[in-house]
Every structure is written in C-alpha cells, then in structure tokens.
Amino acid sequence: MSTPTIEMPVEFLFDHLTDDSSENAFLAALSPLRDLLLVSKQEHSLADKHLRNMNATAQWVEVPDTKTKKRIYQGDYEAFAEAILDETYHSKAVGGLATAMLITSSDLLKASLNFVTKDRDEQTKMLRQGPKTEEAHWANALVCAANYVRHAYEWKAFYLEQKLYEFQDSGLIEASRQHKGLGMMVTNLEELNRLGFSLRELFSADVTKVELVEALCLLEDEQIHKMLVEWVRAILPKFKHRTVLIH
C-alpha cells in the first residue's frame, strides 16, 4: 500500500510554532524542561550556599609532607563530603536541563525549515532573519548555542593547543581562520559573541548553559512565543505561494 502524498501550504507548517495555545509544539516541548530547570536552579543555589557555609566554618589543618604542605579537613567528613556531592549533583542537573532546552529548541527550528527547503544555504539565510537579541539573530543564535554546548570542550582544546590565549579578543577569530576545517566553530562563536559573550569566555568554555538559555529568552513562554511569531513573519514572505509535498 503506497503512502499518500499531501500538498500543503507552507504557512500551515509553521502553525505549530506560532499557535498561541497549549497546542504550540515548541512551548509544549520546552515548558516541562524549563519548569524543571527553574526548580533545579533553586536547589543548586541552596546546595551551593550550604557548601560555602560549611567550607567557611570548616576546620582545616596543614600536614607537611616531603615537598609541600597539604590542607586536610578535620571534623564531620561525611557531612562535608555529602555537601560536595549534593552541590555537584544539582550543578550537573542544571547544566543538563539547560543543554536539553537549547538542543530541543534548535532541532525544532531546523526541523521546521527542513519541511520547506533542504537547501542548507537557504536555511541559513532564514535563520538570520527576524528578531534580534543584543546584536545576534535570535533563531540563528539558538542553533549556534546548541552547537556550542555540543562542542565547547573540543573548541577549548583547540584554543589551548594553538595558544590562542596569547591573542587579544579582536584577533581570536582571525587567528582561528588560519586553520582549515574550523568554519563552523568560527561562525558559531561569532554569532554568540554578538549575543553578548566575549570570545575569550566562549573559547575557554566559561559560558554556562544557563547563561545561554537566559540570553536567548527561553525562560518565559511569552518571550519565546513573541520571538517565534516575529521569526515566522520575517521568513514567510520568502515562501509566499509555495506549497510542499508531505509523503
């Protein structure tokens, strides 16, 4: 039995991004992650404060060895170790949820464009339209942020190996361009630089996932919806009168 083919107007394909009800696929995917992230952020803040307090009041003694003096903790070691593990757990949870939000939102935007055009250059042009956050195009910055959380430590390794830390911020990109096969890295870091982060922070992998989520306005449904509507309105004229076949 053959699969039916449906001819569909492009506008219909973007309805799932601009619907202002609970049917909005973008918000339906991100809202549960956002709610978990906000809870985890609060729990991490409490765990971090508890660990800092314990560290400030801890009893440390210096134990000399053959070359150096080591500081060791004396007291309720079990409680101190538990506080460290608790802070680490919540920190990882926050980072993981923020990463999931960035990758999910990026994949939803790219999947929407894939229905309309398979041409990567055309997709890139579409992502570089619509609303801006700081000096960065919001949709494109979302995709770049998702790439960043996937590759930040690879790019940091390159930064260290090539001793790019010897360059000023203004020379980092130009120095990176001298190396072949790094086009995606340069393009992504340039856009995130326009989002408000310094190139040195980005190359050093010092920008946290939560900072990216906040910079991209992903913590409020109203802000997300506003960005989506503006983006879709900006790109739809390009596809006016176009229909696509859904198999």
> How does DSSP assign 129-193, residue by residue?
SS-EETTEEHHHHHHHHHHHHHHHHHHHHHHHHTTGGGS-HHHHHHHHHTSTT-HHHHHHHHHHH
pLDDT at 173: 75
Residue 126 has pLDDT above 80, yes or no: yes
Nearest partner of 13 among 232, 227, 247, 204, judged by Cα: 232
pLDDT at 118: 83
Radius of gyration of the chain (CA): 23
pLDDT at 64: 74
Q: What is the DSSP track for 14-25?
A: THHHH--STT-H
Mean predicted confidence (pLDDT) in 159-188:
76
Mean predicted confidence (pLDDT) in 106-128:
88
Q: Where residue 21 falls among pLDDT bands split at 50, 70, 90? A: confident
What CA–CA distance (Å, rounded) separates 60 from 18? 57
pLDDT at 46: 96
Mean predicted confidence (pLDDT) in 226-230:
91
pLDDT at 69: 66
10 Å Cβ neighbour count for 122? 13
Q: Where residue 129 falls among pLDDT bands split at 50, 70, 90? A: very high
Mean predicted confidence (pLDDT) in 121-146:
94
Residue 59 has pLDDT above 80, yes or no: no
Residue 193 has pLDDT above 60, yes or no: yes
pLDDT at 67: 67
CB of 104 closer than 8 Å to CB of 9 = no
What would the two tokens of residue 210 be?
């939560």
